[in-house]
Amino acid sequence: MKRQVMMIAGTLAAASLLAGCQQEANAPEPVRPVLSMVAKPNSGDSTVAVGVVEPRYKTNLGFRVLGRLTSRSVNVGDIVSEGQIIGSIDPTALDLAVRAAKAQLAKAEAQLATAKATEQRQRTLITSDATTRQTLDNAEQARAGAEASVAQEQANLTKAIEQLGYAQIKADFGGVVTAVGAEVGQVVSPGQTVVTVARPDIREAVVDIGEDLPVPLDVGLPFSVSLQLLPAVQVEGRIREIAPQADAVTRLRRVRIALENPPESFRLGATVTARLGKGQSKVLRLPASAVLTKDGADFVWVVDQSAGTVSLQKIDGIAEPAGLRVTGGLAAGTRVVTAGIHSLKPGQHVRFEQDQEP
């Protein structure tokens, strides 16, 4: 009797344990909260870059020799013409060098005349055997050395005269003075910038653009550039040059936009704003946290808002610093998960907030 009671108790315990396991297996998975966003194409209308108008061509003028600046005839904003004297240094030392070179040349020419006369005498004496062949050879060698000395001194004089011309700096082209780097009385070293001259006829906008540009940043990309103080004044332009790398602090890349026939109001140094040109296609871009990469392919978790579940969907795109630019496989307006993508399962129920947008 006791044995039967124990068997019945064991059977009941096993049955209750089995029922508990089945109940646990049939229990629904908890609804998981996720972060999500609605994939919307970015428009270039909201992308604004601020910059300034700068000349395409400018040069830093400086002296080629060391000296004390004695005059500088221009200031910032002055208009200069081609060949105009911009500044000069004290030419005393250079003028003395020219005088010394002339004296050395005169000395060498006198020595050459003496050497030629000696050679001629020896040639006359050799005909009557009044001198030796060795003496004539020495006279010829002395004459050749004197000719070489004259050629050297002539080159030194030419060099000294050219350096005397370095006491002045002249404008290589007509333009406007944009910066001044030295004042009268200051000792300037060779190559030091004294004046910066720019050509105002060819102007371009220089702006810094971040990684959030909705379209690829390429040379030739059209922009509309307007004055910040006069937004109604706009000109069209295209990217001419892109910095090879972004700034280490701001993470912005410097871009130079060539302007098409800018008006006079686009003065050098004016602040401008640049927007993407009209007709640029909208781009669908996803953050890197929303893209799941498996076996060389890209996937996203798409949220079925009616059922509250997620499903894995393959997409095509191009990786960019700001995320993934979608080229196919995802329609605009689709809600995708942006965080926790590695721990989701197909058909899993999720909960999201409608206001969690990018």
**pLDDT tens-digit series, residues 218-256:** 888 899 999 988 888 899 999 999 999 888 888 889 999
Could you tell me the pLDDT band of residue 91, with boundaries at 50, 70 and 90?
very high
- Same-domain status, 298 and 271: no
* 208 in the same domain as 193: no
Q: Residue 350 is which amino acid?
A: V
CATH of the domain at 238: 2.40.30.170
Q: Is the same domain home to 111 and 236? A: no
CA nearest to 342, candidates 301, 305, 285, 302: 301
Task: Measure the CA–CA gap between 72 and 84, rounded to whole angstroms.
Answer: 12
- pLDDT score, position 355: 46
- 77 within a domain of the structure (yes/no): yes
Q: Are residues 289 and 345 in the same domain?
A: yes
Q: What is residue 3's predicted lDDT score, i.e. its pLDDT?
A: 54
Residue 101 has pLDDT above 90, yes or no: yes
Least confident interval from 7-11, 94-98, 288-292, 348-352 = 7-11
Question: Is the pLDDT at 356 greater than 50, yes or no?
Answer: no
CA distance 179 to 170: 15
Whether residues 156 and 96 share a domain: the answer is: yes
H runs (alpha helix) in the chain: 2-25, 92-126, 133-165
Q: Closest by alpha carbon to 212, among 96, 65, 323, 342?
A: 323
User: Does 206 share its domain with 270?
Assistant: yes
Which residues are registered as beta bridge partners of 230? none
For residues 123 and 188, membership in a common domain is answered with no
Are 288 and 191 contained in the same domain? Answer: no
Better-predicted residue by pLDDT, 122 or 277: 122
Of 15-19, 108-112, 230-234, 238-242, which gets the smallest average pLDDT?
A: 15-19
* Number of domains within the chain: 4
Per-residue model confidence (pLDDT) at position 147: 95
In a domain, 133, yes or no: yes
Residues 303, 211 share a domain: no
* 231 and 336 inside one domain: no
Q: Is 261 inside a domain boundary? A: yes
Strand (E) or helix (H) holding 327:
strand 323-328
Rounded average pLDDT over 184-201: 93
**CATH number of the domain where residue 140 is located:** 1.10.287.470
Which of 52-66, 74-88, 292-306, 318-332 comes out lowest in average pLDDT? 318-332
* Nearest C-alpha neighbor of 83 from the set 56, 66, 98, 61: 61
- Sort 255 into a burial class: Cβ within 10 Å, 0-12 / 13-18 / 19+: buried
Mean pLDDT of the chain: 84
For residue 17, being part of any structural domain is answered with no
Residues 51 and 37 in one domain: no
Q: Summarize the chain as % helix, strand, coil (round to 5).
A: 30, 35, 40
Q: Beta strand pairing status for 32-33 and 350-351?
A: parallel
In a domain, 303, yes or no: yes
Q: What is the domain range of residue 160? A: 92-165
Residue 244 lies in a domain: yes
Among the ranges given (147-161, 243-257, 339-353), the one the predictor scored with the smallest mean pLDDT? 339-353
Residue 217 lies in a domain: yes
Asked whether residue 140 falls in the same domain as residue 126, the answer is yes
CATH number where 315 lies: 2.40.420.20
**Average pLDDT, integer, range 289-315:** 84
